[in-house]
Structure formats: C-alpha cells, structure tokens
Amino acid sequence: MTLAAKAALGWLLLLVVMFANGAIRVVILQPQLGEDRARQLASLSGVALVLIVSLLFVRCAAEASPSQLLWVGAAWLASTVAFELVFGRLVSGLSWRALLADYDIMRGRLWSLILVSVSLGPWFWGAFTRRRLKSRTSG
C-alpha cells in the first residue's frame, strides 16, 4: 500500500475517532459539565486520540521520511479543516461566526490544539520512533 493510501486511511480513522469523541461530548459530558467545559475536556481527549492515531499511522508507515510525515500532517490538517467547515455549514447549518468561534483560544476554545496535534502528530512520532531506534542500535 502506498504512503498516500495509508495517510488517507489514517485520516479516515481520525474522522471516526473524533466523531465518536464529539458524540461523547454532546451526549455525556455536556449535560454534566456544560458546553464550555465539555468542549475543553473533549478537546484535550481529542489531542490524546489524535496522537494515538498518529502513532498507529507511523507504525504502519515506517518507511516514511520526516518530510513525508510533515506532508501527511499538512494533508490531515487541510482535510480536517475542510471537513469541519463543510460539515458545519452544510450539515449542521452553523454560521461562519459559530464555526470560527472554535478557533478562539482566548475564549477558552481549545480546537486549535487538536489542529496542532493533527498537523504535527505524524512527524512527532516519526522523530520519536527514529530516535528510539537509533539509541537501541548505537547502545
């Protein structure tokens, strides 16, 4: 399987995992914590989930170079933002103001942290994995 195909499957897995994370936020967390706290908690768990999926991807794409992993992260980021905006507008019927509110970290919205983890997760785990392999072979 090509790296591009693995990256596409990785992003689809991210989509499923993050959709589940959002559903848990709405159904379980929001009634207990309120919308703002639920969003913050779901954002933090979202970062963890993105990093887990990124690690799984890197393990399946061990042949990828650091620059390729940065490109994968950029593709995942573009796909994620595009999906969020299109889904938010066309399916959820949200206004642009409501959609962009999630990017306002000064108001306690942590969505930007998820985007950072989406974009840098593959590269991070690739570098971490290479460093561990290098220390095992040289030590």
What is the three-class DSSP state of 104? coil
Of 109, 37, 129, 91, nearest to 100 (Cα)?
109
Kindly tell me the number of DSSP H helices and DSSP E strands found in the chain. Answer: 6, 0
Domain spans in the chain, listed from the N-terminal domain onward: 3-138
Q: What whole-number percentage of the chain has pLDDT above 90?
A: 83
For 93-136, how does the pLDDT look when each residue is reduced to its tens digit (9 = 90+)? 999 999 999 889 988 899 999 999 999 999 999 998 877 666 66
Q: What is the length of the chain? A: 139
Q: What is the pTM of this model?
A: 0.90
Dist CA 125 CA 7 (whole Å): 14
Of 3, 6, 7, nearest to 79 (Cα)?
7
